[in-house]
Copies of this chain bind each other. A is one copy, B any other.
């Protein structure tokens, strides 16, 4: 029973399956907002669609108590004013349970086909989603388009491909025939039913609502589960648009659209989320957010499979370099990109206090610190260009953290507010870079300082730098580790540190790739091997436990020729 939507997207699926095995570069979704791909009027239409949603009730034909809810504020300085249908938890769970019945029965090819169709519709909505991501997360437009649109869609497709890769390996039936010597064989027909877990809960974050939310959403859907999407109260719109599109596709395909529902909330929704997360019907939880909340879910939501991405301390080890300017440029870009509000952004930069070797000769610790500082300052010197890189600070908490961090060490680069040339109320800050010392500041740099805050840390040696990198990743979590060295032995030692810390390693990035970037189908995002995440995006473990197999067996006539003769005897 191959669903028409499975057939429609089968080539894409097969390409994705090939990509996750070879892990070379591949993407079906164009990352450039080009009119050739997205249509001559795509950009204008998407912006208009976004603007039309402002200060309006968001139309979503799903269970609601009749009230509306929502208090999103653009980090670029205005209220979104979008009001979402308010739903109570009991009603939403009941609706999801009902919808899940026929969805479950539809089977793997339908789950996958419908998921892929939703994804292709999301791709067409990339501009509208880009504006909604921009004005909830504070990402500059280009990043909001890429990370919120095609790159998030890549991660979704990757999760679907992994799900299908597991589903397709379970035969729907089997003939089992066990020889019994001269007697007729024991012969049974077996059926294997894929049974989804039930209802999944996706808990979105406020910085990458689609990129971090899609893998769990689509892994759940593609394995036959219903999903309640609970966005961060500060970044509802991108996921509300997503839910709306998913419901359209489900309805068109003949399913109860309550397979996917939205639970919009306002700030301080912690008690509501904790109540929801412990409901017996919630069998899967995908969470991106704070260590405190993620760990609470891991330790309390025993009825569910829980996948978390939490805080971490990303690190750079500078041992030696061919071209320190290229090193500094690359690092500065990583620090400035979306104001360090990426879970992959570096924070701790270790430099030996005695300095390093470069092709231009020995450079002191201060030389390196100044090179980094200079590169950051250069990058943000022109406000009009800077804001396209920095974006805006997502929330006041991050802005306050910058203030708090100022006194932690010697200031190498001061953080300053910038005037946004288009959005006068935008909350823009340049990166803060401080100097610390490994000998005395461990209590500061072993924690995450989320936002545009980084530390250049003097160490006794590269050996100490790598030791710190490995142990901090292992104990406090990390999503990225970066090393700069011209010495193969040091790079091999960095490999060992990355394995000890369970963290992905980037080596000598001086070109157009930045440590913050993680490419779907090739880079595993997170390892599940340190406290920053208990899962990776995506791998077999991320999907294989979202469904179970329930089998049946019944005696049938033997098939083997010799066997039948035996039975006749």
Contacts and interface: CB of A to CB of B under 8 A. Distances in A.
Contacts of A261: none
B171 A23 contact: yes
Nearest to A521: B176
- The size class of the interface chain A forms with chain B is 35 or more
A548 interface: yes
A498 B552 CA distance: 8
Interface string A179-207: 11000001010111101010000000000
B23 A190 contact: yes
Contact of A549 (B298, B509, B539): B539
A512 B186 contact: yes
A175 interface: yes
Contacts of A191: 495
This chain's copy number in the assembly: 2
Interface stretch (A53-61, A358-366, A523-531): A523-531
Main secondary structure on A side of the interface with B: mixed
Interface string A493-508: 0010011001111111
B512 A174 contact: no
A541 B511 CA distance: 39
A540 interface: yes
B24 A504 contact: no
B24 A552 contact: no
A544 B552 contact: no
A554 B495 contact: no
Contacts of A499: 193, 195, 550
A522 interface: yes
Interface string A301-335: 01000000000000000000000000000000000
Contacts of A186: 511-513
A499 B550 CA distance: 6
Closest 4 CB pairs of A and B: A507-B554, A529-B548, A541-B544, A23-B174
Interface of A: 21-25, 166, 169, 171, 174-180, 186, 188, 190-193, 195, 197, 298-299, 302, 495, 498-499, 502-513, 519, 522-524, 527-529, 536, 539-541, 544-545, 548-555
Given A190-B523, A503-B550, A544-B544, 16 more contacts: A23-B190, A169-B540, A176-B522, A188-B513, A193-B499, A195-B499, A195-B527, A498-B552, A507-B554, A513-B553, A523-B551, A523-B553, A527-B550, A540-B544, A541-B541, A541-B545
